[in-house]
Every structure is written in C-alpha cells, then in structure tokens.
C-alpha cells in the first residue's frame, strides 16, 4: 500500500508509531506536532525505515486554529496531494479526584476536541472536493461513558466520536471513509504512572492494528478488539449503579 498521509500529533505515542508503520508500507508522511526536537527524531526514524526521505515535519500547536488553513494547504502541496489524514494529538494532565480546574479542562478540550475539529473541517473540504480519502481519528474508550476520573477528557472524546460519526455520514456520498479508533490502555506517556491499568499494549502494536483498519476503511474499531466487550458492558450499566462505581 502506498499513498500520502498527514498525521497530527506525530511526535510521540500512537502518532509517532503509526508514522513508522505507514512509511514502512510505502507512504510519504507529513508529521505535525508542537515539539520540534521530538518531530525530528520521529522523522529520522521514518526515513531509516523507508530507506528514503519519506517524512516531512511541521511545527504546530493544535490550539492555534487560525494556522490550520495555510499550513494544510502547504502540506498538501509539499506532498503532492493527500489521501490519508490521522488526528492523534491528545493530552491528559494529572487531575486529582477532588480537583476542578477550568484551565486544565480547557486545555483538554482544546487539544483533544477543538484542535481536531479545526483540522477535520479543512480535510473534509479537501476530500469531499476530490471525492476520495480516508480520515482516521484516534479517540478512546474513555468517550463511551462519563466516568469519575477525568470529566473533561471523557467529554472531549465523546464529542470527538460524535463529530467523526457526523463526518462519516456527511462524507459517505463522496466516497470518503472516516475511521474512529477507540484504544484501550496503550503504553505511552499519557498512561505513565497511572494505576489499575490492564491489557496494556505497546504503541507499536496499536499502530499496526490501526494501520490495518485504515487500509480496510473500517468504521469504528476498538484497539485491541477485546475492549469492545468491555465497552458494551460499561455502556449498559444503569446510571444508578454506575455513579457508585469507582471507575
């Protein structure tokens, strides 16, 4: 499989791992993130995997929505076109069980949801016009239900899921595929130090699974797949019971 891919949030975690998988499959990739030093490391690794100059880097903070239009146009020109878009940017600051911090909540919503919306709007117009393309949003099982731990994070991922679903329905007549990925626990900086995690898999393993779902243009997929059963149970727990559960 070959093509061109734009990955937002490519400096670490799933985004960085997915970049390596895609260049290994023959893609040229545009890597976008806030940290230039990390981006350069990922780019070098991608080029080593591909055996050629397969990666380009662009420094951008997804909270700066006004930069998106010009940067997106530049990236498409540099790549010579675009057929795959991945939004993998995400943050989850430490939040105590009795902490209510509007600044942290705003950061979570800006990066996990509004940054995604800004980029997806630009990509949707491009893919609709050219009548092909695959959009992949890295969401989370956290979006399935509002739990105690991180209210803003659960809300952001739920909003992201719904936005992706709407895009899927809106873009379907134009032969554009929208893939929603809902990972469980992945061994990344976001999960470091968190207690009570299980079924943890590496970012590299997750990336290989995600690349398969992108290739097959699946709609909604849990990574790994066994989280689907957990999500089904969680979604169907009655509220009067769920509010008493420390999950």
Paired residues of 177 in beta bridges: 134
Residue found by looking up tokens 């393993």 in the block:
205
Identify whether the C-beta of residue 136 lies closer than 8 Å to the C-beta of residue 123. no
Identified catalytic residue from 58, 87, 150, 153: 153
The answer to whether residue 222 is catalytic is no
Residue found by looking up tokens 């670490």 in the block:
12
The string of DSSP codes covering 121-136 is: HHHHHHHHHHT-EEEE
Identify which of 159, 121, 168 has the alpha carbon closest to the alpha carbon of residue 139. 159
* 138, two tokens: 């890295």
* 203, two tokens: 């970012």
Q: How many Å apart are CA 2 and CA 170, to the nearest integer?
A: 26
* 76, two tokens: 């498409």
Q: How many Å apart are CA 194 and CA 203, to the nearest integer?
A: 16
Question: Parallel, antiparallel, or unpaired for β 133-138 and 84-87?
Answer: parallel
Residues with catalytic roles: 153
């Amino acid at each position: 499989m070959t093509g061109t891919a734009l990955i937002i949030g490519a400096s670490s975690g799933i985004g960085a791992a997915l970049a390596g998988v895609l260049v290994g499959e023959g893609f040229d990739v545009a890597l976008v993130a806030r940290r230039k030093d990390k981006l350069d490391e990922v780019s070098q690794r991608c080029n080593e995997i591909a055996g050629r100059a397969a990666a380009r880097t662009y420094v951008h903070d997804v909270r700066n929505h006004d930069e998106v239009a010009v940067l997106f146009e530049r990236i498409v020109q540099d790549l010579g076109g675009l057929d795959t878009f991945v939004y993998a940017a995400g943050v989850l600051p430490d939040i105590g069980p009795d902490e209510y911090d509007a600044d942290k909540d705003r950061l979570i919503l800006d990066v996990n949801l509004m940054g995604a919306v800004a980029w997806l709007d630009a990509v949707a117009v491009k893919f609709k016009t050219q009548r092909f393309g695959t959009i992949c949003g890295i969401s989370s099982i956290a979006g399935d239900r509002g739990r105690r731990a991180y209210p803003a994070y659960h809300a952001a991922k739920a909003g992201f899921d719904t936005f992706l679903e709407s895009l899927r329905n809106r873009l379907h007549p134009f032969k554009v595929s929208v893939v929603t990925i809902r990972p469980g626990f992945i061994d990344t900086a976001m999960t470091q130090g968190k207690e009570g995690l299980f079924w943890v898999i590496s970012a590299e393993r997750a990336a290989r699974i995600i690349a398969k779902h992108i290739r097959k243009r699946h709609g909604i997929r849990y990574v790994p797949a066994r989280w689907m059963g957990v999500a089904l149970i969680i979604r169907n727990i009655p509220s009067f019971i769920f509010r008493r559960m420390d999950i």
